[in-house]
Amino acid sequence: MIDDFDLETAENDDGGLEKRGRRVTRSETGNATRSDLTQTWREPAVSTPRCSDCGRPFSTEERRLLHRGLEHPDRLTDHEREAYATVATAERGAHRRYVLGALIVLAVTYFGFLFAYAIVA
C-alpha cells in the first residue's frame, strides 16, 4: 500500500487560505481509497516573514534569517550576513542551554532511580 495526500486550498472567512488534506491509500492493484480529512490548517491573512528566494513562510524574522543563512548563503547581503551571525550565535547559546538542561534532567532521573533501587533492594 502507498499513502499519499491530496491537498485542497480555499479562501476562508478572514481572507486567509485554508488547506485541507485527504489521505489517499493506493493498494498494489492501483485502486485508490480516500479516508476522511486528516489535516486542516490555516495560513493567516496577515503577512508572515517569507524567504525571498523560495517563498517558504516562517513564524519569526529570526527563523527566516537562519533559513536564508543556511539554505541560501550566497544570496545574502552584507547586512543580512551580520544579522545571520548574530541570530546564529544566539541560537547556538539557546541550544546549548537546552542540551545542558536535558542532561541535568537525565542525570537526576538516573540517580533518582538508582537511589530508589538501593533503598528497595
Residues 3 and 26 grouped into a single domain: yes
pLDDT in tens, 40-87: 555 555 678 888 888 888 888 899 999 999 999 899 999 999 999 999
Give me the residue label for grid cell 496577515: 46
Instruction: Please check the confidence at residue 94 and state whether its pLDDT lies above 70.
Output: yes
For 69, phi and psi rounded to 5 degrees?
-70, -30
Give me the residue label for grid cell 538508582: 114
Instruction: Report the mean per-residue pLDDT for the chain.
Output: 77
pLDDT at 20: 57
Which strands sit side by side in the sheet containing 2-11, from one edge to the other?
Answer: 2-11, 17-26, 32-43
Residues 63 and 118 grouped into a single domain: yes
Instruction: Please check the confidence at residue 95 and state whether its pLDDT lies above 90.
Output: yes
Instruction: Kindly indicate the confidence band of residue 13, based on its pLDDT and cuts at 50, 70 and 90.
Output: low
Residue 51 lies in a domain: no
User: What is the number of domains present in the chain?
Assistant: 2
Residue 52 lies in a domain: no
Residues 83 and 108 grouped into a single domain: yes
pLDDT at 37: 46
C-alpha cell at 14: 478572514
Instruction: Please check the confidence at residue 12 and state whether its pLDDT lies above 60.
Output: no
Residue 96 lies in a domain: yes
**C-alpha span between 24 and 35 (Å, rounded):** 7
Residues spanned by the domain of 2: 1-46
**C-alpha span between 9 and 40 (Å, rounded):** 10
Q: What is the mean pLDDT of residues 102-114?
A: 98
Residues 116 and 70 grouped into a single domain: yes
Residue 54 lies in a domain: no
Distance of CA 112 to the CA centre of its chain: 33
Tell which residue, 14, 20, 18, has the closest CA to residue 46: 14
Residues 68 and 121 grouped into a single domain: yes
Residues 63 and 121 grouped into a single domain: yes
Residue 53 lies in a domain: no
